[in-house]
Chains A and B, each alone.
Chain A
Amino acid sequence: MKRLGLKKMWLVLAVALLVMLVACHPALAAGEGDAKSPEEISTSLDTVWVLVAAALVFFMQAGFFFLEGGLTRSKNVANAMLKGVMDFCLGALVFWMLGFALMFGADRGGFVGASGFLSNLANPEWNGLPLYVFLLFQIAFAGAAATILAGAVAERVKFSAYCIATVCITGLIYPVVGHWIWAEGGWLYRMGMLDFAGSTVVHTVGGICALVGAWMVGPRVGKYNPDGTPNAIPGHNIPMAALGTFILWLGWYGFNPGSTLKASSAIATIAMTTTLAASAGAAVAMFVTWFRYGKPDVSMSFNGALAGLVAITAGCAYVSMASSVVIGMVAGALVVFAVEIIDRKLKVDDPVGAISVHAVNGIWGTIAVGLFAQASFGEANGVAAVNGLFFGGGVAQLGRQLLGVVSVLAWVGVTSALLFLALKKTVGIRVSEEGQKLGLDITEHNLEAYPEFQPAITEKGVI
């Protein structure tokens, strides 16, 4: 006891001495030395905020692959994890090399950027921010756009084809759209289309790639009967899907408020519209499924939250709290009906609902800006001050939003179709029937994700 007491006293003395030394240091005395200007402090805050936001958006990647892994079967879960990890890693490299230059480089005719390939300077600057923090933020966004495809083509896409596809999305398809809408020279930007954090740029782009991919790869073995009726293929881990959903939601607090690229007061409003839309989306999806199926559907309610998040992404800085609730409610209903139509009418197999969440609600959210935008909110948040159709602005903004949506659908539809066609003719895009039955973990990676578990026995055999 005595020894310990002495030790503690020495520690206290040492700390006190250190504090005195530091306090007496001339550079640290108030009003002297290297005190920072308000501009420098502001830049520091902005840098920290954008880096934190980038990290949150980066972590959405985990949300995506956990959601996918949970909603699919255990024999394909290791494949789902590697797809999610690899599309980020390959995407980060290609976006640094190519994508960033196409998106934010010197404008060429409003269509594409063309400078800043392989950024390699010592701490360059970009619009008042260190360029590398902006680049990292944009890499995380590009990763999100690319990984949306993963869930839609889960359980049957060839891993090699998937990797090539995501490289092409982050390297070319996504940055061109990003240039149109977010770069100052982009033709849709100049026209005044508004997509604050990327309902169109990220989610519609990823969602359309997902639609085209899922359609061209074809449904999973056993998904549709010979008469065309669909079979349910239950996922293996609902807790994984729940955690994935909330990781995505958490990441959205970087995605939407981070898109200010400034530590301004607007981040508070944006975080709230984001929260309300997600909550409204989840609640409405739950009630719609409760009413239609007799019980509240678990994974569709998760989809409802994500649908609300996707839909508010374009308008999060331009709309009121009440409008964000309405936007989220519509998204929650849309996602349920979209899943049913895509599954039963279009017969496109989308195991996780990626097309309904990202394409359908990306489009809805973009259109919603033309309906719900309020100049007072835009102005207070230091962004474009525009009134939508419901707030006396007429159809002008709605028209710009629709033009943006249609143009992006055309670009992504054509390029992604060409991409998957080329992959089909070369490396192949679909795992064989035998390989799918065995599971992609074994076929594509030669391992089992859960080697100590017994497989489930069903009438269709051991899965």
Chain B
Amino acid sequence: MKKVEALIRPDRLEAVMRELRSLGYPGVTVTEVKGHGKQKGVTHMWRGAEYRVEFLPKVKLEAVVLDEDLGKVVNAVLRAARTGSIGDGKIFIYEVMDAVRIRTGESGFNAI
């Protein structure tokens, strides 16, 4: 099993969720986060004075998938989250040792 952690634009969440559901992965964890990559923040204006907003709002989406589905899931996120402009985000992929469903105690991929 792999964990796909995607940092995406908040307005792309709906499209990414649609893709994941169609692949049979309806279970995700979503967190509102702030941060920046290489591009850094943006400049705003307050009463004639510029100020920097360094941390930009993003959505962090986490889903655990089967090894053989990894490529499909990553491609789906790429399709749905990409606008082509700076600030589209990142995908990180982790090994998952195990999973346990709290209600039943099932483990492994059955718990997902």
Query: Which residues of A are at the interface with B, using a C-beta cutoff of 8 A?
Result: 230-235, 289, 292-295, 297, 299-300, 336, 339-340, 343, 353, 457-459
8 Å CB contact of B51 from A231, A293, A299, A340: A231
* B98 at the binding interface (Cβ < 8 Å): no
Q: Give Cα distance in the complex from A457 to B53, angstroms.
A: 10
Q: Does the CB pair B51–A300 fall under 8 Å? A: no
Q: Does the CB pair B47–A297 fall under 8 Å? A: yes
Residues of chain A within 8 A of B48, CB atoms compared? 289, 292-293, 297, 300, 336, 339-340, 343
Q: Smallest Cβ distance from A345 to chain B, in angstroms? A: 13
Q: Smallest Cβ distance from B106 to chain A, in angstroms? A: 35
Q: Does the CB pair B50–A232 fall under 8 Å? A: yes
Q: Smallest Cβ distance from A94 to chain B, in angstroms? A: 34
Q: Does the CB pair B45–A293 fall under 8 Å? A: yes
Residues of chain B within 8 A of A339, CB atoms compared? 47-48
Q: Can you name 6 A-B pairs with beta carbons within 8 Å?
A: A232-B49, A294-B45, A297-B48, A300-B48, A457-B55, A458-B54
Contact of A295 with B47 at beta-carbon distance under 8 Å, contacts A457-B34, A458-B55, A459-B54 already known: no
Q: Give Cα distance in the complex from A340 to B47, angstroms.
A: 9
Contacts A292-B48, A459-B52 aside, 20 further interface pairs with beta carbons under 8 A come to A230-B49, A231-B49, A232-B47, A233-B46, A234-B44, A235-B46, A289-B48, A293-B48, A294-B45, A297-B45, A299-B47, A300-B47, A336-B48, A339-B47, A339-B48, A343-B47, A343-B48, A457-B34, A457-B55, A459-B55
8 Å CB contact of A234 from B34, B51, B54: B51
Residues of chain B within 8 A of A289, CB atoms compared? 48
Centre residue among A293, A300, A343, A353 by max chain B CB count within 10 A: A293
Residues of chain A within 8 A of B45, CB atoms compared? 232, 293-295, 297
Residues of chain A within 8 A of B53, CB atoms compared? 458
Residues of chain B within 8 A of A353, CB atoms compared? 47
Q: Does the CB pair A232–B51 fall under 8 Å? A: yes
Residues of chain B within 8 A of A458, CB atoms compared? 53-55
- Nearest CB in chain A to that of B44: its residue: A234
Q: Give Cα distance in the complex from A294 to B49, angstroms.
A: 12
Q: Does the CB pair B49–A343 fall under 8 Å? A: yes
Q: Smallest Cβ distance from A141 to chain B, in angstroms? A: 28
Q: Give Cα distance in the complex from A340 to B34, angstroms.
A: 32
Q: Smallest Cβ distance from A357 to chain B, in angstroms? A: 12
Residues of chain B within 8 A of A457, CB atoms compared? 34, 55
Q: Give Cα distance in the complex from A186 to B43, angstroms.
A: 53
- Nearest CB in chain A to that of B51: its residue: A232
Q: Give Cα distance in the complex from A411 to B47, angstroms.
A: 31
Q: Smallest Cβ distance from B53 to chain A, in angstroms? A: 8
Q: Give Cα distance in the complex from A300 to B34, angstroms.
A: 29
Q: Smallest Cβ distance from A271 to chain B, in angstroms? A: 30
Residues of chain B within 8 A of A295, CB atoms compared? 45
Q: Smallest Cβ distance from B57 to chain A, in angstroms? A: 10
- Nearest CB in chain B to that of A295: its residue: B45
Q: Smallest Cβ distance from A14 to chain B, in angstroms? A: 61
Q: Smallest Cβ distance from A220 to chain B, in angstroms? A: 14
Q: Smallest Cβ distance from B60 to chain A, in angstroms? A: 14
Q: Give Cα distance in the complex from A340 to B53, angstroms.
A: 22
Centre residue among B44, B49, B52, B53 by max chain A CB count within 10 A: B49
Give 10 nearest A-B pairs by CB, closest first.
A232-B51, A232-B46, A232-B49, A234-B46, A459-B54, A293-B48, A293-B45, A457-B34, A300-B47, A299-B47
Q: Give Cα distance in the complex from A336 to B34, angstroms.
A: 34
**Hey, what's the 0/1 contact readout for B20-31 against A, CB within 8 Å counting as 1?**
000000000000
- Nearest CB in chain B to that of A71: its residue: B47
- Nearest CB in chain A to that of B50: its residue: A232
Q: Give Cα distance in the complex from A343 to B46, angstroms.
A: 12
Q: Smallest Cβ distance from B16 to chain A, in angstroms? A: 24
Residues of chain A within 8 A of B51, CB atoms compared? 231-232, 234
Residues of chain A within 8 A of B47, CB atoms compared? 232, 297, 299-300, 339, 343, 353
Residues of chain B within 8 A of A233, CB atoms compared? 46
Residues of chain B within 8 A of A299, CB atoms compared? 46-47
Q: Smallest Cβ distance from A314 to chain B, in angstroms? A: 26
Centre residue among A232, A289, A295 by max chain B CB count within 10 A: A232
- Nearest CB in chain A to that of B45: its residue: A293
Q: Smallest Cβ distance from A291 to chain B, in angstroms? A: 11
Residues of chain A within 8 A of B54, CB atoms compared? 458-459
Centre residue among B48, B52, B53 by max chain A CB count within 10 A: B48
Residues of chain B within 8 A of A459, CB atoms compared? 52, 54-55
Q: Give Cα distance in the complex from A231 to B47, angstroms.
A: 11
- Nearest CB in chain B to that of A351: its residue: B47
Residues of chain B within 8 A of A340, CB atoms compared? 48
Q: Smallest Cβ distance from B13 to chain A, in angstroms? A: 19
Q: Give Cα distance in the complex from A457 to B34, angstroms.
A: 8
Residues of chain A within 8 A of B52, CB atoms compared? 459
Q: Give Cα distance in the complex from A199 to B107, angstroms.
A: 76
Q: Smallest Cβ distance from B40 to chain A, in angstroms? A: 10
Residues of chain B within 8 A of A343, CB atoms compared? 47-49
Q: Smallest Cβ distance from B56 to chain A, in angstroms? A: 11
